């Protein structure tokens, strides 16, 4: 990898910002705040629950086509792609590419009343900011680059892929971006991935918080609380497994957490239950810690079930058994401090008079980061609040500078990509 000191990142950004097409792209962003807000309100009116993103994918696909992107396509899981081809490369070239993505799903179930309300530069709606801001920020960048003819006039030495992906939130478990990186032919070409998620222009998530989630289920023969007394009890075994697990020592660094999230089981107070189940969430910045916790979970459940069976007074009616199902798996990783992506972001900030705080989080960037691909998740400008609640809001004040930040960073990474 060539040396990429800050000074060269800064001169790259300064040179980019001096190009006429880049001025034209900035002018497009400056001239179209109402259009961007209108897209955001329209998007917010379309439900986007996990595994129910189809209508949003269709909407975005039409917007990518309107924007003038090439090869607009929707893949098998519902991810929508649009390409801005490189200036002087044939379309069949297989060289490096940069990805700019935003997740289209929300946390809200399909039946949630959406009713977006626009009041000046403010939008009130579930999903207005997360990820309405990211999706329309990406669309705005697409329009600005196409309208400014950046591709034809300026150096666009590597292609840029716009991606509206599914499955970022909760049980979606990053399935959209995961699917992208399972497509070897394309994934092998990605050298940088910028994720737009929510609002703001002063933070970037560069440390991918890993998580693993499990459902544990213990079953047994059940029975009458009095006449079958002595039959092994699934709730007793599960409860003692969870009690043991809760005692697991967790390191402060790398920060690692464990949550016993839900517990269910049994049918009535006077029945020996036939089943009990619990869901558990482990998080850490270290993959190794997640693995250790998985081992601790298996050991706790195995021991508790074995003890429940061994100590049961009646074994003839049947014994306890268990299953452990992984219901979520997000890898932990981090963007190295000397990554060209981070140095470029610092350079862009310096140019625009901004300052970025680096954050830890679980975002679509987890997947490329875990594969060693420079990636981060950043806001698309403006301000927002009430994320994941029905009172969610977004304010487009200062959206423009946030989008300039994204645009310059994206172009800087495209230049860098072409040198790889
Ligand atoms: Zn989000």
At residue 5, the pLDDT reads 52
State in Å: Cα 131 to ligand 1 middle: 5
Pairing of strands 375-378, 190-196: parallel
Rounded Cα gap, residues 179 and 168, in angstroms: 12
Query: What separation in Å is there between the alpha carbon of 169 and the centre of ligand 1?
Result: 7
Note residues around ion ligand 1 (Cβ under 5 angstroms): 130-131, 197
Q: What gap in Å lies between CA 225 and CA 35, rounded to an integer?
A: 66
Quickly count: other Cβ atoms within 10 Å of residue 199's Cβ: 29
The pLDDT score that the predictor gives to residue 155 is 65
- Pick from 364, 359, 375, 388: nearest CA to 130: 388
CA of 126 from ligand 1 middle (Å) equals 12
CA distance 73 to 212: 31
pLDDT of residue 171: 80
* Rg, the chain, Cα only: 25
Interval between CA 107 and ligand 1 midpoint (Å): 9
Question: What confidence tens digit (pLDDT) does each residue in 36-95 have?
Answer: 999 999 999 999 999 999 999 999 999 999 999 999 999 999 999 999 999 877 777 889
Spacing, Cα 16 to ligand 1 middle (Å): 29
Note the pLDDT of residue 156. 84
Q: Within a 13 Å sphere around the CA of 143, how many CA atoms are in the beta-carbon half?
A: 21
Q: Which residue has the tokens 């499990």?
A: 214
Q: Are strands 393-395 and 223-224 parallel, antiparallel or unpaired?
A: unpaired
Q: Would strands 256-265 and 223-224 be described as parallel, antiparallel, or unpaired?
A: unpaired
Query: So what's the pLDDT on residue 35?
Result: 97
How many A from CA of 351 to the centre of ligand 1?
27
What's residue 89's pLDDT? 78
What angle (nearest 5°) sits at the alpha carbon of residue 206, between those of residues 39 and 197?
Answer: 10
Round to whole Å and give the CA distance between 206 and 267: 46
Ranges of residues in the chain whose predicted pLDDT is under 70: 1-7, 152-155
Q: Give me the pLDDT at residue 152, please.
A: 65
Separation of CA 36 and ligand 1 centre (Å): 18
The Cα 247–Cα 64 span in angstroms is 51
Look at residue 1 in the predicted model and tell me its pLDDT: 44
Cα–Cα distance measured from residue 299 to residue 355, given in angstroms and rounded to the nearest whole number:
46
C-alpha 197 to ligand 1 mean position (Å):
5
pLDDT at 234: 98
Tell me how far the alpha carbon of residue 29 lies from the centroid of ligand 1, in angstroms: 22
Encoded tokens for 411: 């172009």
């Amino acid at each position: 990898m060539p040396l990429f000191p800050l000074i060269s990142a800064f001169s790259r950004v300064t040179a980019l910002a001096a190009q006429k097409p880049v001025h034209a792209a900035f002018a497009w962003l400056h001239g179209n705040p109402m259009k961007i807000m209108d897209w955001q309100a329209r998007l917010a009116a379309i439900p986007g629950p996990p595994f129910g993103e189809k209508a949003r994918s269709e909407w975005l696909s039409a917007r990518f086509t309107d924007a003038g992107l090439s090869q607009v396509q929707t893949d098998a899981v519902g991810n929508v792609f649009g390409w801005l081809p490189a200036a002087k490369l044939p379309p069949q070239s297989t060289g490096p590419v940069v990805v700019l993505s935003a997740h289209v799903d929300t946390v809200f179930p399909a039946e949630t009343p959406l009713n977006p309300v626009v009041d000046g530069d403010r939008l009130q709606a579930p999903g207005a900011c997360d990820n309405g801001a990211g999706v329309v920020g990406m669309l705005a960048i697409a329009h600005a680059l196409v309208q400014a003819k950046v591709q034809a006039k300026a150096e666009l030495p590597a292609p840029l892929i716009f991606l509206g992906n599914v499955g970022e939130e909760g049980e979606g478990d990053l399935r959209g971006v995961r699917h992208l990186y399972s497509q070897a032919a394309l994934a092998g070409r990605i050298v940088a991935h910028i994720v737009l998620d929510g609002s703001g222009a002063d933070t970037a998530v560069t440390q991918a918080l890993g998580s693993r989630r499990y459902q544990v289920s213990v079953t047994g023969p059940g029975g009458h609380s009095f006449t079958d007394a002595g039959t092994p009890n699934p709730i007793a075994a599960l409860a003692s497994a969870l009690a043991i697990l809760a005692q697991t020592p967790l390191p402060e660094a790398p920060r690692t957490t464990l949550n016993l999230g839900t517990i269910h089981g049994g049918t009535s107070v006077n029945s020996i239950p036939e089943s009990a189940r619990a869901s558990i969430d482990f998080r850490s910045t270290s993959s190794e810690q997640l693995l250790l916790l998985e081992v601790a979970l298996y050991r706790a459940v195995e021991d508790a079930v074995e003890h429940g069976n061994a100590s049961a007074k009646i074994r003839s009616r049947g014994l306890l058994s268990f299953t452990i199902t992984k219901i979520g798996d997000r890898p932990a990783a981090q963007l190295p401090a000397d990554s060209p992506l981070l140095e470029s972001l610092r350079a862009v900030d310096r140019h625009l008079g901004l300052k970025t705080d680096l954050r830890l989080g679980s975002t679509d960037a987890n997947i490329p980061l875990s594969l060693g691909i420079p990636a981060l998740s950043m806001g698309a400008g403006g301000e927002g609040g009430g994320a994941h609640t029905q009172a969610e809001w977004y304010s487009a004040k200062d959206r423009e500078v946030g989008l300039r930040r994204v645009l310059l960073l994206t172009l800087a990474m495209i230049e860098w990509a072409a040198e790889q």
